[in-house]
């Protein structure tokens, strides 16, 4: 009974001794915290004083958990780009440094999700639980870490895959006036990556909420959202969000590329990105240059698109293919922003409003479009089939302009124009209907072999669909060569040609025997009765009379015109005789 209180007392003693020892060892440490003050707030920006140790592009925390990026670091003040709602911010509010740059959540948890550039979900699903984050501004891979572009990325559009091929790791610009189908081409490319181990990232910059909702609904209904990440900065968001959106989307894509995946990223569109940057720069009093854009507008796009590449096998062998979209005004591709991006990218796909109005969809102007890298990555089967197709189509477009003036054309020119019209009809394609590689090669081979030339133009759509459907019967050993670097041999071409001929047989006009029967009936009566012979005899001189007087009239008219001066000459001596009579 007496031992128990002693043991309890010893426990208390040891406990208090430990506490006193810890208190003796504890030394309070003071951590400095830099605090600034808002001087003024404008549309999407704020000017802050204080924060002497802030760095360029460092995150700054504002009241209400509003973030901002230090954009201008001057001696007396800091120009901050706001990344959220700024209506509740006022001059005199306290701000503080975060000590980190802007970053975004990355990983496979983002697949199938719609997020904003800050990584916040916009699809009303469960919150994101990403284990890794990457800064939105990252240096591009070194040249020694890159590999050449050797594998194509199929878009499912024949006009692009055959004439303007795109390789994995390439940067291909899509430009054209508004409402010409630029987004539709990018969406078709995303839809065609299903089952091909390609991850897609769609970045909407400054788009209307309704337009973004339609895109997301199209991807979801067609099963493409499962391998796609959608990053959205709507048009009514702060301009700072539109500015950082493509960089955040690229960091998300780079995470998959560095993991060894092939990634396709679409920037829709960089015109809005440039306008957002111009707005922020002018509000921050940066000096404007050509077309009121600041001088570093080229650099913001070049450092963005330089991150798209194909890595070496030692770095994982992943690739990042970029499809930036640009909106032109009045078909002016020589404006400031379009020329900047044309010089940065590896080629461009130009969409013509005139072709769009004529119903040629996709409205790709083959003459103004080019792919500087993708030709080397194009499959050998495409090169063998579509080698002269672009030249024939370009010749057709030039001759078609002359034919509109009603000029008389020879047979060769007429054949080129008719063949070009068949090419244009075969390259037409509805939206959200990608064509497989065997079907494309079957149609292209039939085009180069002039199998479509006898088909009437009004039946070209049905004829092209018949060839695409018949391409499913191509032997597997032949279709397997389409995906490899092996060239098609003569037997493979004959096999495909026979399949195409069989599919086109119902659409070709049948020979009419009627005129042959008429000619036979005319020949038979010549050897018949006398009465028939009289009819034929009467019929014979009629064409002879018609044929003979024509040259005779021409020859007779000439001498008739010749005596007229003789008559004038005969009239002249008459007045010469009159003076003799007077004399």
Q: What are phi and psi of 171, to 5 degrees?
A: -120, 110
State CA 170 to chain mean position distance.
Answer: 12
Written as six digits, the tokens of 35 are 């605090």
Give the residue among 411, 437, 442, 415 at the shortest CA–CA distance from 426.
442
Cα 9 versus chain centre, distance: 82
- Segment 454-457 long-range contacts (CB within 8 Å, at least 24 positions apart): 454/508, 454/509, 455/422, 455/504, 455/507, 455/508, 456/507, 456/509, 457/421, 457/422, 457/425
Q: Terminus-to-terminus CA distance in the chain, angstroms?
A: 189
Q: Positive or negative, the Cα torsion across 524, 525, 528, 533?
A: negative
Separation CA 48–CA 39 (nearest Å)? 5
- Of 168, 372, 424, 481, catalytic: 372
Short-list 506, 502, 390, CA closest to 456: 506
Number of separate helices (H) and strands (E) present in the chain: 23, 16
The whole-angstrom distance between residue 213's C-alpha and the CA centroid of its chain comes to 20
The vertex-244 CA angle with 243 and 247, nearest 5°, equals 120
359 φ, ψ to 5°?
90, 15
Task: For 378-388, give one letter per residue: b (16+ CB within 10 A) or e.
Answer: bbebbebbbee
Q: What would you report as the CA-atom Rg of the chain, rounded to the nearest whole angstrom?
A: 39
Is 372 noted as a catalytic residue in this protein?
A: yes
* Helical segments of 388-474, H only: 389-403, 411-427, 437-448, 460-470
Q: List residues with catalytic annotation.
A: 372
């Amino acid at each position: 009974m007496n031992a128990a209180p002693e043991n309890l007392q010893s426990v208390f003693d040891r406990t208090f001794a430990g506490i006193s020892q810890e208190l003796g060892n504890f030394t309070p440490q003071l951590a400095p915290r830099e605090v600034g003050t808002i001087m003024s707030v404008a549309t999407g920006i704020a000017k802050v004083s204080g924060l002497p140790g802030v760095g360029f592009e460092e995150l700054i925390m504002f009241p209400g958990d509003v973030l901002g990026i230090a954009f201008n670091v001057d001696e007396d003040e800091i120009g901050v780009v706001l990344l959220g709602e700024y209506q509740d911010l006022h001059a005199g509010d306290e701000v503080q440094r975060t000590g980190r740059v802007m970053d975004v959540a990355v990983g496979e948890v983002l697949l199938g999700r719609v997020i904003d550039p800050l990584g916040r979900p916009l699809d009303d699903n469960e919150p994101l639980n990403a284990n890794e984050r990457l800064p939105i501004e990252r240096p591009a891979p070194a040249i020694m870490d890159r590999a050449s572009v050797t594998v194509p990325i199929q878009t499912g559009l024949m006009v692009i895959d055959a004439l303007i091929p795109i390789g994995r790791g390439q940067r291909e610009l899509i430009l054209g006036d508004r409402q010409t189908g630029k987004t539709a081409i990018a969406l078709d490319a995303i839809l065609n990556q299903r089952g091909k181990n390609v991850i897609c990232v769609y970045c909407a910059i400054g788009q209307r909420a309704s337009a973004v909702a339609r895109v997301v609904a199209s991807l979801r209904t067609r099963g493409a959202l499962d391998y796609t990440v959608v990053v959205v900065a709507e048009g009514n968001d702060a301009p700072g969000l539109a500015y950082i959106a493509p960089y955040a989307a690229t960091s998300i894509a780079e995470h998959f590329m560095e993991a060894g995946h092939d990634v396709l990223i679409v920037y829709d569109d960089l015109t809005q990105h440039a306008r957002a940057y111009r707005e922020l720069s002018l509000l921050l009093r940066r000096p404007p240059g050509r077309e009121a854009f600041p001088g570093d507008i080229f650099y913001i796009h070049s450092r963005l698109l330089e991150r798209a590449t194909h890595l070496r096998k030692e770095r994982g062998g992943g690739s990042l293919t970029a499809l930036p979209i640009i909106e032109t005004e009045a078909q002016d591709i020589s404006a400031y922003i379009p020329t900047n991006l044309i010089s940065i990218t590896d080629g461009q796909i130009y969409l013509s409003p005139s072709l769009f109005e004529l119903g040629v969809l996709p409205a790709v102007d083959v003459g103004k479009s080019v792919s500087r890298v993708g030709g080397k990555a194009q499959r050998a089967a495409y090169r063998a089939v579509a080698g002269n197709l672009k030249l024939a189509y370009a010749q057709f477009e030039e001759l078609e302009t002359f034919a509109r003036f009603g000029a008389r054309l020879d047979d060769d020119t007429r054949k080129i124009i008719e063949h070009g019209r068949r090419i244009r009809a075969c390259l037409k394609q509805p939206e959200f209907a990608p064509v497989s590689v065997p079907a494309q090669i079957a149609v292209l081979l039939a085009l180069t072999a002039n199998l479509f030339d006898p088909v009437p133009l009004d039946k070209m759509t049905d004829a092209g669909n018949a060839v695409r459907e018949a391409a499913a019967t191509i032997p597997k050993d032949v279709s397997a060569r389409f995906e490899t670097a092996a060239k098609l041999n003569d037997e493979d071409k004959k096999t495909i040609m026979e399949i195409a001929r069989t599919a086109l047989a119902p659409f070709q006009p049948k020979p009419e025997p009627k005129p042959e029967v008429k000619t036979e009936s005319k020949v038979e009566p010549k050897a018949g009765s006398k009465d028939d012979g009289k009819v034929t005899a009467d019929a014979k001189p009629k064409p002879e009379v018609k044929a003979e007087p024509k040259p005779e009239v021409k020859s007779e008219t000439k001498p008739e015109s010749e005596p007229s001066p003789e008559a004038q000459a005969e009239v002249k001596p008459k007045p010469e005789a009159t003076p003799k009579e007077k004399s």
